[in-house]
């Protein structure tokens, strides 16, 4: 739309109905769009990467009027990785035109009302840089970024890459990573996004219009046009789907929960078991290619017996059993039979979601008796509509991620029934805004009427009526260890991934301060004292200004004191650092053992000054809050309640921070205290931690008194054939029932294990070990065409190997994906690894478990070292000392079992279904040479370990790689 048309729009948009209808017919409907996509030799035009293909689709309204596609000669070779990704080789572009030759066509095609791309910054930057090099004018059209708009308008999408959206929307995308194919599917996506905008309620469009000035996409006129049409033509979504809550359009929620308790008769257990696992109307009817497993049935029987007889048990269930469905079937029957709820606790939100979205709904479809289930998380996971509405009306926008998050939430509340933030993928800094609007701020919600729209209370209410409550270890431990009830009472519990329960519980007895996070909190806390929030507060003006200034001064002072303390601490730690590092490669500094007397005195003085400022801040904030409470007694005002709630919430945080500082720096206890930081940025990466080991006794006491029966289960619970280690960690030595149910996989034919005997020892001087393992990893990749996961125990070693691999001559054939180097979460890195044919994934820490890569995507697993905890870590040393005091052998009874369990978790990454085949290569010769090595060999699911030299392994590689199987059947895999 040109400037003249825009002027007409501005002048006429609020005129009479006939004028507007004419305007829409004659002007708005002729909007034109140029949808563009590029393929390039790399990600940065600034580093010399070049365009190799351009695809453009021109649309008038929603009709395609022209297409343009051409290769571009880049005057440079195309990297092998780009050729593998796109299919475009040097031969394709050899006779293609130069960029300068297609400039006239390019400018003509892009001379539209809007230029659209999926990540518009990438495409326009490449084009404008190329034009600038030719001395040509740059493209300056209005733009639309379909990445941005898909995040706003499709907040619940599992991913916002073009391939992910095209799959979820079932858009035809025959040639991903080819320019014209990507441009066509982006055009189809734009149609979907336009339709979604048209379907939004008027009030939502108004809120989005207020935010649109900060968008990358120039959608302000589009939104204004939609609002004009809505007002004068009456078009819009059906009113019965949404309703207004305090002016915010939200999805209507049902208010009645089903309560079946006491109204059903449970079938006999034997009949229930027979029906589910053997009858054609059972699991076989809902899981494609379902196979009845005697191991799965055995596990269900064992759990049901324990729950029925009110006894606890430890059960290790090998991979492939179908563990989740086994314990779910036992839990449901027990809940119906005993007319009491059964709690299921998992370590991760991912498994919690899997149970709620897969196993439980599937079982509900075929169950002869109805049952209910609910998921429950901590209140910080749920949106508070009251706080969100307040931010929409009064909040200030500090950055782009704030705007994007607010816009996403506006659309999300039209779709969500749970208000659980796990449903959407927020921007990286969106969690700062989320803290302002989460239900965690519920301290003094006096007179804050939420009706059906307190998502957290609705989730709790649903759980109160449920037969099965699915939660996480974090909330389970919080509920056990705190006086307040956070989970409805359950006497029966199943703890999956039980080997993590101890470490989760330990977090509630320790202290942790991360320098950047505390600084961010100080900045965010300061916002609540901005005068704009108090414009409608009828308090004495001078007193109000004085209180706000007092709190602002002390929060600034506290922030400065914290910065000064952290700076001094990190500077001293750098100068006096030991040669100890964590598994993430950070330096570890033992506070009490390495700090001098002078250092400790200076730190103590600094802490006293910081605590003084915090205490004055607490007093000032409490005074301000009490003033508002007095106002509330005479003026009923929901906005006042929001302010009171937030101030009370912050006071709690201030007090918690003072306790953390006191615990780490000032309390003279036996608890280990240490710092971790990166040497290049010590203050900016500084983490201070204190750890207590008293939690085991408290956890044990609460588990025994609050539960009648607890089932502890995992694919990796036993070490050296015994549950003694995990029992002692949880204080559950009195539990007698133990069972190890082996995996149904035929590991002898599905997997081979090789230990190269000529890899040098890591203890030898020099970099011989690093060079040897890097060469071995790359040589194996040549044999497997990538498709390899490499597990490290040290981030610093991972980083060194990553850069060594990049130096190999043919390394560009493979995409190296490395945790901590390649941007993205663990799940994002895993998805990228699976999406690329020739890739090598380097991981540490979290990649040793919970990563599911079935089928041919993973054919080789490399373990660089046996997964022992760093022996010099203060926390590890303290734990060893405590075990020694109790008459245990710290290495044999603590360190070794922990490493063996971790090792079993790592091994489990390779075979994920009955049809998987793979090779495990262990580069740590200690498994052969050390006395304790046999315990790791015994933990392997195969009877033979091949000991060969590297040359023989590579020359006879096909002999060591098991023959490929067929694709895993639906319903297989995912059965840890």
Residues facing residue 674 across a β-bridge: 590, 689
Q: Are strands 511-514 and 587-590 parallel, antiparallel or unpaired?
A: unpaired
Token duo for residue 773: 């393992």
On whether 322 is known to bind a ligand per the annotation, the reply is: yes
The answer to whether 126 and 102 have CB atoms below 8 angstroms apart is no
Q: Which helix (H) or strand (E) holds 714?
A: strand 709-714
Q: Are strands 51-60 and 32-40 parallel, antiparallel or unpaired?
A: antiparallel
Residue 316's SS3 state is strand
773-778-784 Cα angle (round to 5): 125
On whether 45 is known to bind a ligand per the annotation, the reply is: no
Residue 364's SS3 state is helix
Burial of 2 (C-beta count, 10 Å sphere; 0-12/13-18/19+): exposed
The answer to whether 155 and 408 have CB atoms below 8 angstroms apart is yes
Token duo for residue 819: 């945790």
What is the C-alpha to C-alpha distance for residues 421 and 185, in angstroms, rounded to an integer? 29
The answer to whether 260 and 372 have CB atoms below 8 angstroms apart is yes
The answer to whether 167 and 146 have CB atoms below 8 angstroms apart is no
CA pseudo-torsion sign 774, 777, 780, 785: negative
On whether 321 is known to bind a ligand per the annotation, the reply is: yes
The answer to whether 86 and 73 have CB atoms below 8 angstroms apart is no
Angle between the N-to-C axes of helices 179-198 and 220-233, in degrees from 0 to 180, rounded to the nearest 10: 40
Query: Residue 17: how many CB atoms within 10 A of its CB?
Result: 10
Q: Largest Cα–Cα distance in the chain? A: 91
Residue 929's SS3 state is helix
Closest CA to 606 of 576, 556, 567, 574: 567
What is the C-alpha to C-alpha distance for residues 115 and 140, in angstroms, rounded to an integer? 9
Name the CA radius of gyration of the chain, rounded.
Answer: 31
First to last CA, the chain: 57
What is the C-alpha to C-alpha distance for residues 756 and 957, in angstroms, rounded to an integer? 12
The answer to whether 925 and 877 have CB atoms below 8 angstroms apart is no
On whether 323 is known to bind a ligand per the annotation, the reply is: yes
The answer to whether 228 and 20 have CB atoms below 8 angstroms apart is yes
Contacts (Cβ under 8 Å, ≥6 apart) of 269: 304, 308, 333, 337
What is the C-alpha to C-alpha distance for residues 942 and 939, in angstroms, rounded to an integer? 9
What is the C-alpha to C-alpha distance for residues 392 and 389, in angstroms, rounded to an integer? 5
The answer to whether 872 and 909 have CB atoms below 8 angstroms apart is no
On whether 216 is known to bind a ligand per the annotation, the reply is: no
Annotated binding site: 317-324
Annotated binding site for ATP: 317-324
């Amino acid at each position: 739309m040109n400037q003249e048309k825009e002027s007409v729009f501005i002048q006429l948009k609020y005129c009479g109905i006939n004028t507007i209808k004419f305007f829409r017919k004659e002007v708005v409907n002729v909007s034109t769009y140029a949808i563009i996509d590029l393929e390039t030799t790399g990600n940065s035009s600034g580093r010399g990467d070049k365009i190799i293909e351009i695809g453009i689709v021109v649309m008038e309204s929603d009709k395609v009027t022209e297409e343009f596609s051409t290769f571009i000669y880049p005057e440079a070779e195309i990297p092998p990785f780009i050729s593998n990704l796109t299919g475009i080789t040097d031969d394709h572009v050899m006779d293609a035109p130069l960029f300068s030759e297609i400039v006239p066509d390019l400018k003509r095609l892009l001379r539209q009302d809007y230029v659209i791309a999926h990540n518009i910054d990438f495409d326009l930057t490449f084009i404008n840089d190329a034009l600038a090099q030719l001395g040509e004018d740059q493209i300056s059209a209005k733009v639309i970024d379909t990445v941005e708009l898909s995040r706003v308008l499709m907040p619940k999408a599992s991913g916002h890459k073009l391939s992910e959206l095209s799959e979820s929307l079932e858009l035809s995308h025959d040639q991903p990573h080819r320019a014209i194919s990507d441009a066509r599917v982006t055009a189809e996506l734009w149609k979907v996004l336009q339709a979604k905008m048209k379907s939004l309620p008027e009030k939502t469009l108004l809120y989005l219009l207020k935010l649109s000035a900060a968008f990358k996409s120039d959608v302000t006129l589009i939104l204004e046009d939609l609002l004009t049409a809505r007002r004068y033509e009456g078009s819009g979504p059906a009113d019965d789907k949404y309703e207004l809550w305090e002016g915010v359009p939200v999805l209507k929620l049902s208010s009645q929960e089903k309560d079946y308790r006491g109204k059903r008769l449970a079938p006999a257990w034997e009949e229930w078991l027979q029906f589910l696992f053997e009858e054609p109307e059972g699991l076989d009817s809902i899981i494609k290619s379902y196979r009845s497993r005697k191991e799965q049935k055995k596990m269900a029987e064992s759990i049901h017996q324990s729950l029925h007889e009110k006894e606890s048990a430890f059960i290790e269930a090998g991979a492939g059993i179908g563990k989740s469905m086994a314990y779910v079937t036992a839990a449901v029957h027990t809940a119906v039979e005993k007319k009491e709820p059964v709690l299921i606790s998992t370590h991760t939100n991912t498994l919690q979601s899997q149970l709620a979205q897969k196993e439980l709904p599937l079982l509900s479809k075929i169950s002869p008796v109805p049952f209910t289930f609910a998921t429950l998380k901590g209140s910080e996971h749920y949106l508070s509509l009251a706080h969100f509405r307040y931010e929409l009306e009064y909040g200030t926008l500090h950055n782009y991620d704030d705007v994007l998050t607010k816009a996403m939430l506006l659309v999300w509340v039209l779709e969500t029934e749970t208000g659980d933030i796990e449903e959407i993928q927020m921007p990286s800094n969106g969690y700062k805004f989320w803290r302002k609007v989460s239900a965690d701020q519920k301290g003094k919600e006096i007179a804050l009427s939420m009706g059906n729209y307190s998502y957290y209370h609705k989730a709790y209410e649903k759980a109160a009526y449920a037969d099965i409550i699915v939660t996480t270890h974090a909330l389970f431990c919080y509920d056990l260890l705190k006086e307040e009830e956070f989970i409805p009472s359950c006497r029966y519990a199943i703890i999956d991934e039980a080997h993590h329960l101890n470490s989760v519980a330990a977090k509630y007895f320790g202290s942790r301060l991360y320098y950047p996070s505390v600084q961010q909190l100080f900045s965010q806390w300061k916002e609540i004292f901005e005068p704009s929030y108090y414009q409608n507060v009828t308090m004495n003006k001078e007193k109000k200004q004085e209180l706000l200034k007092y709190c602002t001064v002390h929060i600034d002072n506290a922030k400065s004191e914290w910065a000064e303390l952290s700076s001094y601490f990190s500077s001293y730690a750098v100068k006096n650092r030991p040669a100890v590092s964590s598994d993430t490669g950070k330096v570890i500094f033992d506070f009490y053992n390495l700090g001098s007397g002078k250092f400790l005195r200076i730190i103590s003085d600094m802490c006293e000054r910081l605590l003084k400022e915090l205490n004055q801040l607490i007093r000032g904030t409490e005074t301000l809050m009490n003033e508002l409470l007095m106002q509330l007694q005479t003026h009923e005002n929901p906005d006042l309640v929001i302010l009171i709630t937030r101030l009370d919430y912050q006071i709690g945080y201030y007090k918690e921070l003072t306790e953390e500082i006191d615990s780490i720096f000032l309390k003279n206890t036996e608890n280990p205290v240490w710092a971790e930081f990166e040497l290049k940025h010590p203050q900016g990466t500084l983490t201070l931690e204190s750890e207590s080991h008293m939690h085991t006794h408290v956890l044990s006491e609460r588990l025994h008194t609050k539960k009648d029966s607890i089932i502890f289960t995992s694919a990796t619970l036993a070490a050296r054939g015994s549950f003694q280690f995990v029992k002692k960690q949880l204080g559950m030595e009195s539990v007698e029932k133990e069972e190890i149910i082996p995996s149904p996989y035929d590991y002898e034919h599905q997997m081979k294990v090789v230990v190269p005997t000529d890899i040098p020892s890591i203890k030898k001087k020099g970099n011989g070990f690093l060079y040897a393992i890097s060469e071995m990893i790359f040589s194996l990749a040549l044999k497997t065409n990538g498709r390899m996961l490499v597990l490290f125990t040290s981030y610093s070693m991972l980083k060194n190997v990553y850069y060594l691999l990049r130096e190999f001559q043919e390394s560009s054939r493979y995409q190296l994906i490395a945790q901590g180097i390649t941007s993205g979460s663990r799940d994002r890195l895993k998805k990228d690894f699976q999406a690329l044919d020739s890739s090598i994934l380097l991981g540490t820490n979290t990649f040793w478990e919970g990563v599911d890569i079935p089928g041919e995507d993973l054919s080789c697993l490399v373990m660089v070292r046996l997964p022992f905890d760093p022996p010099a870590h203060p926390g590890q040393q303290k734990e060893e000392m405590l075990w020694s005091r109790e008459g245990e052998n710290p290495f044999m009874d603590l360190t070794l079992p922990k490493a063996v369990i971790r090792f079993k978790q790592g091994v489990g990454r390779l075979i994920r279904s009955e049809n998987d085949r793979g090779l495990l290569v262990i580069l740590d010769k200690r498994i052969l040479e050390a006395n304790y090595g046999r315990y790791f060999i015994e933990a392997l699911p195969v009877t033979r370990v091949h000991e060969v030299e590297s040359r023989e392994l590579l020359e006879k590689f096909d002999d060591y790689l098991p023959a490929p199987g067929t694709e895993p059947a639906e319903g297989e895999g995912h059965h840890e």
